[in-house]
Amino acid sequence: MPSRRIGGLMPKFKLVAVDMDDTLLSRDLKLTGRVREAVAAVRAAGVYFTISTGRMYRSALPFARELGLNIPLITYQGALVKNSHTGELVLYRPLPLARAREIIARIHELGYHLNGYLDDRLLVERDTPEGRRYAAMSGVEAEIVGDLLEYLDRDPIKVLTIAEEPLLDRLSAELTPLYRGKVHIVKSKPHFLEFSHPQATKGDALAYLAGCFGVKREEVMAVGDSYNDLEMLEYAGLGVAVANAREDVKKKAGYVTSAAYGDGVVEALEKFVL
């Protein structure tokens, strides 16, 4: 994806959105000193900086506070955009319950682990190793609620299933044609397949947020690593992939960093923003 230039020059970026896992965070899921310093410098320069993640809002919030962010965060792949300082709800696009039920029923047939999300709560049907690992990674305690088909009484924020990557690729190939334009289906990690509102993408949410700030598309930079970042990399004036990104994502990026994880984010910020 070529970067958009004005008069042959790179535009001045006014809004930066960065994915968390495998991008902003280190391998051990922490913010390094270099990342904190670079983000502080970006904000001091008057540039908006936000997190854009598939994580729950409550999972992303501690990192936003560590960075001192006081603007809306893009969470749940773009289904929930909420201000990290005031708690103001900016955008909410949940998955219609009827679609969620259909997808849950199909995953039940396959026997894969399921997560549901209501009111920023992590819901699981039973205690599983997959669920425990997910909860530990997210820093959020899971609630065991039994059959999600029976428990869900309104639109969930999203639904997520966990299985081996070839199994998820097969499921995605099966369901994507059936739900095109009705459900957004994306793999956020090799073992995570997510189902959300058709407009619950990081790209749609980033476009909405840019509009709120009066920032033009060409003034936006986005940084990510995985398939769920593709829409925001495509939307942004400059889409950046970190060195550890999936190869398909690198091919769509306007710039690929030489460094991985948070060091790659710092590289992009220093090269294009600071």
Q: Residue ranges per domain, the chain?
A: 15-93+200-272, 97-196
CATH number 3.30.1240.10 is the correct assignment for the domain at 97-196: yes
Identified catalytic residue from 19, 204, 225, 263: 19
End-to-end, the C-alpha distance of the chain in Å comes to 23
The half-sphere exposure of 169 on its side-chain side, counting CA atoms within 13 A, is 5
In the sheet that holds 121-124, the strands lie side by side as: 143-144, 121-124, 113-118, 159-162, 192-196, 184-189
Intervals of the chain under pLDDT 50: 1-8
Fold (CATH) for 15-93+200-272? Rossmann fold (3.40.50)
pLDDT at position 11 is 56
Radius of gyration of the chain (CA): 18
| Pairwise CA distance, residues 70 & 83, whole Å | 7
Q: Mapped to the 3 state alphabet, what secondary structure does 76-126 carry?
A: HHHCEEEECCCCCEEEECCCCHHHHHHHHHHHHHHCCEEEEEECCEEEECC
The yes-or-no answer to whether 15-93+200-272 and 97-196 have a common fold is no
Q: Closest by alpha carbon to 125, among 102, 108, 106, 100?
A: 108
Active-site residue 22, yes or no?
A: no
Q: What is the pLDDT of residue 3?
A: 44
Helices (H), the chain: 33-44, 57-67, 97-110, 129-138, 148-151, 165-179, 202-213, 230-235, 247-252, 261-272
Distance of alpha carbon 155 from alpha carbon 45, whole angstroms: 40
Give the pLDDT confidence of 228-252 residue by residue, as tens digits. Answer: 999 999 999 999 999 999 999 999 9
Q: Minimal CA–CA distance to 244: which of 258, 228, 229?
A: 258
